[in-house]
Copies of this chain bind each other. A is one copy, B any other.
Amino acid sequence: MLEILFLGTGASIPSRDRAMPCIAIRQTTDIILFDCGEGSQRQLMISPFSFMKIAGIFITHMHGDHFLGLPGLLQTMGASGRKDPLIVCGPQGIKEGVETVLSVCPGDINYHIDIKELKDRDAVKFNGFEVSAFQNEHNLPSLGYVLKEDDIPGKFDKKKATELGIKVGPDFSRIQNGECVRGITPEMVMGSSRHGCSVVYSGDTIPCERLTEAAKGADVLIHESTFSEVHEKLAKEHWHSTSTQAASTAKECGCRALMLVHISNRYEDLDMIKDETVEIFENVFIPEDLEMFRITADNIRSI
């Protein structure tokens, strides 16, 4: 099960209702962030998630609205006594960027920050899930991300194993670890494995092949939708997507749900954005700040 918490759903400039881009995903206890715009640490204070449980932060690109909350959050973790190491990932330039801003604003950070510059298809493993990067197409080095929960192996059926003559002891372990024991195969005593869920985050991008490839079969596609379809030309000029382009990608990729973020402040009527999207892909959400979704193999719902 994954929980997606939208900490900031705005675009470029914050508004009364929407903070700068930041999406938290929790799997069991570990939390990762996709982007960390200015004010994300305060949104975390207001939210039910603990900023001390963040294991990794994935920045899509170095525009201020996606990055400028990171230095403050790193310092707040330090001031709050964090000792656990933290993984910070981003495109080319993230390492120098983080180190430069932290050198401008001195603060006590007494934990290790492992800053990784990721390239297309690089992956980072966490306990229970993996995050991989794909190169998208924006007007500076920029990534999107895929979070894929580990598949959960099927449950061992002790009763059935005993009936088939497997003895309690080392043979139980062998068959659970995939070995064949006296003609009994693991498939005969293990339930079917459970589908791990996946969430794809487009980052800021025009529609592109690598995004489509990454989103194939994803449970949830979180896609930027800076513009409405009526401003498709403007979207292209600014290296952004429209709501209907996002919908087309979700449809083509067979995603279960599409969540639109990064909608320009120029659109006051979000029903209009939703309506044009639904015509192409039905299961669309436009999350509000601090809205949370629970994603299981059976269900995707706002909680």
Contact = CB atoms under 8 A, between A and B. Distances in A.
Interface string A61-89: 01111011101100110011000000000
Contact of A105 (B42, B46, B64): B64
Contacts of A270: none
Interface residues of A, number: 36
Nearest to A74: B64
Given A38-B39, A42-B19, A69-B38, A62 B13 contact: no
Interface stretch (A22-30, A96-104, A273-281): A96-104
Contact of A41 (B38, B72, B79, B140): B38
- Most chain B CB within 10 A, of A12, A72, A106, is at A72
A106 B41 contact: no
Contacts of A107: 63-64
Interface in A4-46: 12-16, 19-20, 38-39, 41-42, 45-46
Interface of A: 12-16, 19-20, 38-39, 41-42, 45-46, 62-65, 67-69, 71-72, 75-76, 79-80, 93, 96-97, 100-101, 104-107, 140
26 contacts: A12-B79, A13-B41, A13-B76, A13-B80, A14-B42, A14-B45, A20-B72, A38-B38, A38-B41, A38-B42, A38-B68, A38-B72, A39-B42, A62-B105, A63-B107, A64-B107, A67-B105, A68-B72, A93-B104, A96-B104, A97-B104, A100-B100, A100-B104, A101-B101, A101-B104, A106-B140
